[in-house]
Amino acid sequence: MEPLIREARPDDRPFIEEISRLTWGGEDYLARVFDEWLRDGHFYVLEVDGKVIGTAKLTLLPGKVGWLEGLRVHPDYRGRGYGRKLHGFMLELGERLAREGKIEALEFATYFLNRESIAMAERTGFHVRARFFVFGAKTESFEPEEPERIEPTLEDLTLGTVPVGWRFVRRSREALEWIKENAELYDINGFHFLVPKEGATFTPLDVGLATLKAILPAMAWVARERGREEFDVMLPSGVKPLLPGLKRLGLFLWDEAEEPNVLAFRKRLV
């Protein structure tokens, strides 16, 4: 039977949970966002002989961006071209949405060791538009301090490209409204940081060793409240000279990379 790409359905949940359990050592978020992605739409699965073995999602972001995420292939089916098939399908979807005036570009972010995704992106016209470092941290490394949740303003968005978890939006009034719906802004001693409403990947909006030293206990508090023993911190590539100091603060790089380990790609469609 030919592989079939179709919209995801509620009864796909067991297959999605299996793929999620077998991805990133069981730390994949796919199962947690299953219901949300079903409601949002543009959530697709690849089915082979009645079994869902792959997934892909397109999310509409501010600035007429179609954000690609959730591209997964079950480990037992990798190396057979299914990832390329899903990628090609999502490119065609993006081009259709562009013709309809709904988006102007496709974007996605990936870890620097995800060489297959990077190679596919480069072959199909994507280019790197931003680079970031993602650091890990353990909540037990800090004495958690409760921050104050505040309403974000445009002035709070101090970065031109604002990471919200593993999605990236350009600073704008439209992006601010999207952030209000999808993220939370916290203040601790006058310093601000963002975190998606689901997950534990934080973005400090003030970058510097002293600032991060003040912010990290508050991030640990939020992570602990969400039941996380570890959390991540997303920082712009310009912090590279600060790497030794960041490590002394209790942050660690997953693969001891000395270069930015998160790449944000873009392909303009119109």
pLDDT tens-place string over residues 188-197: 999 999 999 9
Residue 112 lies in a domain: no
Residue 172 lies in a domain: yes
DSSP 207: -
CA dihedral (169, 171, 172, 174) positive or negative: positive
Q: Read off the CATH number of the domain in which 195 is found.
A: 3.40.630.30
Q: Are residues 94 and 25 in the same domain?
A: yes
Query: Whole-model pTM?
Result: 0.94
Q: Are residues 42 and 142 in the same domain?
A: no
Can you tell me the mean pLDDT for 103-120? 95
Q: Are residues 56 and 148 in the same domain?
A: no
Counting the structural domains of the chain, the total is 2
Can you tell me the mean pLDDT for 141-152? 97
Tally of residues, the chain: 270
* Percent of the chain whose pLDDT exceeds 70: 100
Residues 49, 250: Cα–Cα separation, whole Å: 48
Domain ranges, residue 217: 131-262
Q: Are residues 141 and 241 in the same domain?
A: yes
Q: Is residue 30 over pLDDT 80?
A: yes
Q: Where are the alpha helices (DSSP H) in the chain?
A: 13-21, 34-40, 82-99, 115-123, 173-182, 209-225, 243-248
Q: Is residue 26 over pLDDT 90?
A: no
Q: For the chain, what is the radius of gyration of the CA atoms?
A: 19
Q: Are residues 150 and 67 in the same domain?
A: no
Structure confidence at residue 28 (pLDDT): 86
Q: Is residue 206 over pLDDT 90?
A: no
Structure confidence at residue 137 (pLDDT): 98
Write out the two tokens for 208.
């510097």
Q: Where are the alpha helices (DSSP H) in 64-166?
A: 82-99, 115-123
Residue 241 lies in a domain: yes
Q: Is residue 1 over pLDDT 80?
A: no
Q: Are residues 95 and 145 in the same domain?
A: no
Q: Are residues 98 and 156 in the same domain?
A: no
pLDDT digits (tens, 9 = 90+) for 55-109: 999 999 999 999 999 999 999 999 999 999 999 999 999 999 999 999 999 999 9
State how far Cα 43 lies from the chain centre.
Answer: 16
Residues 63, 32: Cα–Cα separation, whole Å: 26
Structure confidence at residue 27 (pLDDT): 79
Q: DSSP assignment of 249-270, as one string?
A: TT-B-TT--SS--EEEEEEE--
pLDDT band at 216 (very low <50, low <70, confident <90, very high): very high
pLDDT digits (tens, 9 = 90+) for 31-58: 999 999 999 999 999 999 999 999 999 9
Whose tokens are 């600032």? That residue is 211
8 Å CB contact between 94 and 88: no
Whose tokens are 């990133």? That residue is 24
Structure confidence at residue 214 (pLDDT): 95
In 3D space, the residue among 202, 198, 194 whose CA is nearest the CA of residue 171 turns out to be 194
Structure confidence at residue 24 (pLDDT): 82
Q: Are residues 66 and 174 in the same domain?
A: no
Q: Is residue 257 over pLDDT 90?
A: no
Q: Is residue 269 over pLDDT 80?
A: yes
Residues 35, 60: Cα–Cα separation, whole Å: 17
Across the chain, mean pLDDT equals 95
8 Å CB contact between 83 and 73: yes
Residues 232, 59: Cα–Cα separation, whole Å: 22
Structure confidence at residue 111 (pLDDT): 95
Q: Is residue 254 over pLDDT 90?
A: no
Between the alpha carbon of residue 237 and those of residues 98, 129, 143, 257, 268, the distances in Å are 30, 12, 27, 12, 23
